């Protein structure tokens, strides 16, 4: 009998409480994967003709994934509000305004890969509200330090459908088995290798990087001899970094002066996973991503995630 996602309920202080939420993420993942597979036949590839709050062109599949994810969070009954990359404001779930938890989500990460059938993902984290349950959830409930995160993870839509998550006790990977329509434990206790792997970065921005990062990267390459891989979808690049080791970075540059990746629904969930897998997750100025104090729902930060030695070589 294969071990399924039910083992989450047995993990640590928050496992049982998070089980329905992670199951909801699993259902959303299955639905989003089906939509992605059939997108070309529905004419659902390409732009939605709208922009998100960050001025980025939304793809039809960004919007559909956001709707699916929100609906599955609503159906759990445990989520009072969702902060999404695709929604300017915090989205309050009117039926459950007194529920305990909020979810932050990047419903479709790496969506520029869609036109070339490349991997994409979903990134999420769960926090407990700070406002009283009798009050309406407020955006301030989302602005919590990463050390307060209760659960986080990602879905990878690749050759297989994977959900990797942590409820604070280890990082475990589940692969969807189409033969029984269940997520089964395939990667228990994921630990980032201390050496080896790859460096992963959009090196075409090198001349524009802040903090002398071009020279620091060259130094690290010389010292370690690491090869390079870059998918351009954070989920896929992080998943490889966790399994193989190395470092994934998106520094600040002339165009993205505070970095490109979003703190609450990209950097913090991935930092939570990286630290729980034994790796290191830093922003610039030697501050761990999980120690940053969020100021805004769609705030951006520089990120350096991976094997400790490689992250230190870049930031030391």
Q: Which is nearer to ligand AHG, 99 or 301 (CB)?
A: 301
Closest CA to 246 of 264, 265, 230: 230
**Concatenated DSSP letters for 219-286?**
HHHHHH--EE---S-HHHHHHHHHHH-EEEEE--BSSSBTBSEEIIIIIHHHHHHHHHTT-EEE-STT
Please give the DSSP secondary-structure letter assigned to residue 67. H
Least separation in angstroms between residue 112's CB and Mn ion is 10
Least separation in angstroms between residue 262's CB and ligand AHG is 8
Helix, strand, coil abundance in the chain, percent, nearest 5: 40, 25, 35
Helices 268-276 and 234-244: crossing angle, nearest 10°?
10
Closest CA to 38 of 120, 117, 156, 112: 117
> What is the contact mask toward ligand AHG in residues 99 to 138, using x (rule: CB under 6 A)?
-------x--xxx---------------------------
* Contact by Cβ (8 Å): 61, 44: yes
Query: What are the residues facing 280 on neighbouring strands?
Result: 306
Report the sign of the C-alpha dihedral through residues 111, 71, 38, 124, in that order. Answer: positive
Q: Is 20 in the site for ligand AHG (CB under 6 A)?
A: no
* Closest residue to ligand AHG: CB criterion: 202
Residue 202 touches which member of ligand AHG, Mn ion, none, C-beta under 5-8 Å by kind: ligand AHG
Q: Which is nearer to Mn ion, 19 or 110 (CB)?
A: 110
Q: Which is nearer to ligand AHG, 202 or 299 (CB)?
A: 202
- Count, residues in the chain: 316
Q: How far apart (Å, rounded) are the C-alpha atoms in residues 281 and 159?
A: 27
Sole window of 12-20, 21-29, 159-167, 226-234 interacting with ligand AHG (rule: CB under 6 A): 226-234
Residue 104 touches which member of Mn ion, ligand AHG, none, C-beta under 5-8 Å by kind: none
Place of tokens 């942590």: 166
Instruction: Give the binding-site size for ligand AHG (rule: CB under 6 A).
Output: 11
Sole window of 96-104, 178-186, 227-235, 308-316 interacting with ligand AHG (rule: CB under 6 A): 227-235
Tokens matching residue 220: 């690290």
Interface residues for Mn ion in 73-112 (CB under 5 A)? Answer: 85, 106, 108-109
Q: Which is nearer to ligand AHG, 9 or 48 (CB)?
A: 48
Residue 233 touches which member of ligand AHG, Mn ion, none, C-beta under 5-8 Å by kind: ligand AHG
Least separation in angstroms between residue 303's CB and Mn ion is 11
Quick one: CA torsion of 45, 51, 292, 219, rounded to 10 degrees?
60
List 234, 270, 289, 311, residue binding ligand AHG (CB under 6 A): 234
Least separation in angstroms between residue 100's CB and Mn ion is 26
Which residues of this chain interact with ligand AHG, rule CB under 6 A? 85, 106, 109-111, 202, 232-234, 250, 260
Footprint of Mn ion (CB under 5 A): 85, 106, 108-109
């Amino acid at each position: 009998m294969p071990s399924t996602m039910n083992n989450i309920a047995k993990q640590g202080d928050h496992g049982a409480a998070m089980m329905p939420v992670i199951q909801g993420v699993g259902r959303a993942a299955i639905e989003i994967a089906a939509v992605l597979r059939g997108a070309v036949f529905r004419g659902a590839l390409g732009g939605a003709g709208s922009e998100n709050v960050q001025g980025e062109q939304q793809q039809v599949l960004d919007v559909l994934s956001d709707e699916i994810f929100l609906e599955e969070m609503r159906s759990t009954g445990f989520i009072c509000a969702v902060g999404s990359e695709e929604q300017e404001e915090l989205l309050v779930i009117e039926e459950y305004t007194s529920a305990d938890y909020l979810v932050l989500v990047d419903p479709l990460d790496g969506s520029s890969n869609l036109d070339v059938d490349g991997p994409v993902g979903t990134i999420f984290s769960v926090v407990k509200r700070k406002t009283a349950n009798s009050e309406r959830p407020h955006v301030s409930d989302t602005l919590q330090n990463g050390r307060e995160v209760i659960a986080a993870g990602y879905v990878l839509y690749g050759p297989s459908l994977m959900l990797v998550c942590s409820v604070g006790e280890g990082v475990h990977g589940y692969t969807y088995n189409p033969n029984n329509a269940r997520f089964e434990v395939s990667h228990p206790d994921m630990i980032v290798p201390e050496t080896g792997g790859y460096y992963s970065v959009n090196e075409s921005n090198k001349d524009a990087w802040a903090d002398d990062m071009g020279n620091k990267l060259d130094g690290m390459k010389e010292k370690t001899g690491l090869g390079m891989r870059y998918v351009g979808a954070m989920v896929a690049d992080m998943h490889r970094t966790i399994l193989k080791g190395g470092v994934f970075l998106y520094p600040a540059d002339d165009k993205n002066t505070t970095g490109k990746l979003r703190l609450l629904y990209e950097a913090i969930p991935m930092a939570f996973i990286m630290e729980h897998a034994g790796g290191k997750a830093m922003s610039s100025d030697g501050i761990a991503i999980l120690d940053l104090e969020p100021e805004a729902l769609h705030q951006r930060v520089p990120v350096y995630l991976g094997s400790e030695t490689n992250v230190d070589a870049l930031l030391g």
